[in-house]
Amino acid sequence: MADEATARWSCRGLSKRFAAPVLRGIDLDLAPGEILALLGANGAGKSTLGRIVAGLLRADQGTMFLEGQPFAPRDKRHAERLGVHIVQQELNRIGTLDVAENLFLNRLPHRFGWIDRRKLEAQATAALEAVGLNDLPLDLPVGQLGIGERQLLEIAAALAQDCRLLILDEPTAALAPPQVSRLFERLAILRHRGTAMIYVSHRLDEIRRIADRVAILRDGVVTDSGAASAFDVERAVEAMSGRSAVPAGTTARPTSTPTSISMSTERLDDRFADRPMLLEVRRLQAPPRVRQVDLQVRAGEIVGLAGLVGSGRTETLRAIFGADRARQGSVRIAGRAKERPLRSPRAAVRAGLGMVPEDRRAEGLLLPASIIDNVTLGKTESGETSFGWLRFDRRRRAVTRAAERTDVRCRDVDQAVVDLSGGNQQKVLVSRWLRHDARVLLVDEPTRGIDVDAKRTLHRVLREWVGNDRGLVVVSSDLDELFELADTIVVMVEGRTVLSAPRRSVDARTLLERAIDVAEDENEREPQR
Amino acid sequence: MDDQQPTERTESPHGAAEAPRANGRRWAGWIDLIGLTVSIAALVMVIGALQPRFLSTDQWSSIANQIPELLVIVIGMTLVLIVGGIDLSVGSVMALSSAVIGVLLERKLGLIVAVPAGIAAGAVCGAINGGISIGLRVPSFIVTLGMLQGARGLAYLLTDSQTVYLGKKIGSIASPLPGIGVSTAFLVALLLAIVAQLLLGRTILGRHLVAIGTNEGAVRLSGIRVWPAKLFPFVLVGAMAGLAGWFSSARLSSVNPNEGNGIELSAIAAVVIGGTSLMGGRGSVTASFLGVVLVAVLTSGLAALNVSEPYKLLITGGVIVAAVLVDVLRRRESR
């Protein structure tokens, strides 16, 4: 470990909050040529930290140092000028421009205002060789590349520049194993030259291959750190979950259990077994993200869908709801004769499903419209029209009642939804579905970015709505939320459901283990194919 | 405990501070209408002060009888813009419809057959525009640009590129009614505008149109079938162009295959002056109606003042841009 003066980069007391605190007083040091892996569950603050270092976000408190100098990048450009680069998960490339242009967009070589194409192509060729994309045509529009190639392009763009500090945020999420190996070779060369790196990932095997040191984040705090070689799954999971103790009365699953991709259903003392089945999803496939999903929801049951970012949870809900086309599998819904997957959200709603999407502002709400218009969208009670004309008085009264039920804090129901806080917007969206006669509601990250008070209200509303005869599927990256709401926990890894168990028999540790170690397992196996 | 409950409510993070802004939003629709009405009144007074003849009843009925075609097209155009589409083909469709009417009347068929056929021809063009644009996800700008050419071509074919004189056969819908001075066509257009505004504001279909223009994806995910609602404005604007074709041939007692050339731009200008968004999701038929009146008053006023053609164009262009600018700035402020 280095101190502030000799370190390549360090930070002291770094804090950041959005709706809730995300980082709480982070202290880290990074020596030249050192690779520090940041590990943590979803929402632990890894990406936020990376984004602050790269100048994409600003810390609320705390200081950073770059080679002993105070370091407070104004924006990404400023950070890059100081030699700090980031490779992000989101692919910020311009699809209509070609590969060479994208690589050097902010510094195209030129002569008298004309682009020096020959020089550009020479530089681009060199940059692409570094990541093993030797045979990629330089004049191919980036929009035609696959997701893995785009990710490599992103990495090539960062590697092509002189950098003192490189931040890699889940760089391998879209890469095949040979590409990963290639990337690691390249990173090793960079390390040798003295580039320090922050490597954000949740793939433990990769971290052990490439990183020198590991820091584990949980709820915005570093809970454990040390040499990478000293970390095994056990220690990492313990630091990530903060729950080493297994709840009394349950048996911990032995960690050495050989992991299999097949679904294990552990319904030991299932109090839902004799309840009527509301939704049964079998072998659902909607490539590329949903590879094999099995899911059951019985009357009165709340199913929590857990998994790491990119495990296909959102896509699973969308495929069940008919928002994305499923290729194979069956979706049985109580009262519906057919078994084939639903073809449209409309069909899903008619069959008794509802969905609260992940991005409520972009996919759920009509922002400039009133609460009335938002709540009544898609469902108008027969009493609310006469001869085809809407009866505003009745609609207003009905929506006012609905808004009271979900505790929407507003001036009145004519208020535009865009003026409400995130929590109240979410309550409006949930109110819409409570008007429907849905039997099963699929909710995606119901309380992300929402204050504690609204969160509690939403949980109460959802639980009351489910009662004894309806069902709920909740996707959440917030483990506490899952454990609080769900009766049954289903874990997804890489588009597959790998575990379904009553909440009481699962703890955070088991859950994280299942979400991580199968991913690891699969990675190790893949190169042998 | 009972006392604390209400206190908590008023202290919610979005209480008093945001109320004025929200209030402004609530009245925004009325401010649009009042602003337009005041502008029209001011324009009338200025022109009337310079040219007192402009304030005569004759002048007013003449304005009223010039606008029914534009007015009915604008009704449809407003709804098309609200769902985020556009229809550039209305002028050509109008010519095609009047050609259909003319040809059928020439063949000794009565108005009772010819007029519905003309309107139906317009509706079919609209259905083709909407169908291709929605079904194949082609921007309506492109599809209707094609229809702009195609429908005009058909109009030329039907009329043999000649102006067809119809005389009395076309009827008197566009002639001023004795006593009140305005034509039946104007009254029909007015009635249709009222119905369309009610439909927009007070029916499920109308609310769906606004919702689709605001966030089509959210509407789809809420379980609504989007395409029928999206198709409706295209069919409507086609039918309205057909109706406009009837009005114009009645006014001129003839069918001219060049009829309606450029009316799509006047229609879009009037709708935009009325504050309807080209991006969809916001608009009002009433405001578009006032937009048509504003443009008509300006045009006739400039004519009454003997302003020469080049200056007329310059001034009209300036007014359109200024009106939209005022609207944009005001909205930006209220955000």
Dihedral (C-alpha) A208, A209, A214, A218: value to the nearest 10 degrees? -60
Structural domain includes residue A466: yes
Structural domain includes residue A253: no
Q: Are residues A321 and A396 both part of a single domain? A: yes
Q: How confident is the model at residue A239 (pLDDT cuts 50, 70, 90)?
A: confident
Structural domain includes residue A487: yes
DSSP secondary structure letters along A145-195? S-HHHHHHHHHHHHHTS--SEEEEESTTTT--HHHHHHHHHHHHHHHHTT-
Q: Which two tokens stand for residue B114?
A: 């010819």
Query: pLDDT digits over B100-135, tens only?
Result: 999 999 998 889 999 999 999 999 999 999 999 999
Residues 6+ apart with CB under 8 A from B188: B68, B72, B173, B243
Q: Is A368 in contact with B214 (Cβ distance < 8 A)?
A: yes
Q: How far apart are CA B249 and CA B98, in angstroms?
A: 6
Structural domain includes residue A358: yes
Q: Are residues A365 and A305 both part of a single domain? A: yes
Q: How far apart are CA B313 and CA B299, in angstroms?
A: 9
Look over chain B and give the mean of its residue pLDDT values, rounded to a whole number: 88
Q: Are residues A152 and A123 both part of a single domain? A: yes
Q: How confident is the model at residue B71 (pLDDT cuts 50, 70, 90)?
A: very high
Structural domain includes residue B324: yes
Residue pairs spanning A and B at CB distance below 8 A: 98
Option in B9, B12, B204 nearest A390 (CB)? B204
Evaluate whether A302 touches A485 at the Cβ level (below 8 Å). Answer: yes
Q: Are residues A486 and A374 both part of a single domain? A: yes
Q: Are residues A152 and A58 both part of a single domain? A: no
Q: Is A350 in contact with B220 (Cβ distance < 8 A)?
A: no
Name the domain count of chain B.
Answer: 1
Query: pLDDT digits over A208-231, tens only?
Result: 889 999 999 888 889 888 888 888
Option in A357, A365, A420 nearest B14 (CB)? A420
Q: Is B14 in contact with A419 (Cβ distance < 8 A)?
A: yes
Residue with tokens 């530089």: A123
More confident residue, A364 or B180: A364
Q: Is A345 in contact with B222 (Cβ distance < 8 A)?
A: yes
> Which domain does A339 fall in, by range?
264-528
Structural domain includes residue A255: no
CA distance A320 to chain B (A): 12
Q: Is the complex ipTM higher than 0.90?
A: no
Name the strand (E) or helix (H) holding A311: none
CB within 8 Å of chain B, chain A residues 340-369: 344-346, 348-350, 354-355, 357, 362-369
Q: How confident is the model at residue A90 (pLDDT cuts 50, 70, 90)?
A: low
Option in A323, A369, A416 nearest B211 (CB)? A369
Q: Is A365 in contact with B220 (Cβ distance < 8 A)?
A: no
Name the domain count of chain A.
Answer: 3
Option in B14, B19, B221 nearest A364 (CB)? B221
Q: Are residues A341 and A277 both part of a single domain? A: yes
Query: pLDDT digits over A477-522, tens only?
Result: 888 889 999 999 999 988 999 999 998 888 888 888 888 755 444 4
More confident residue, B143 or A449: B143
By C-alpha distance, the chain A residue nearest B216 is A363
| CB contacts, 8 Å: B222 with chain A | 345, 349, 364, 377-378, 432
Residues of B with CB under 8 A from a CB of A: 9, 12-15, 18-19, 21-22, 25-26, 198, 202-204, 207, 210-211, 214-215, 217-225, 281-282
A121, amino acid identity: E
Q: Are residues A433 and A381 both part of a single domain? A: yes
The CATH number of residue B240's host domain is 1.10.3470
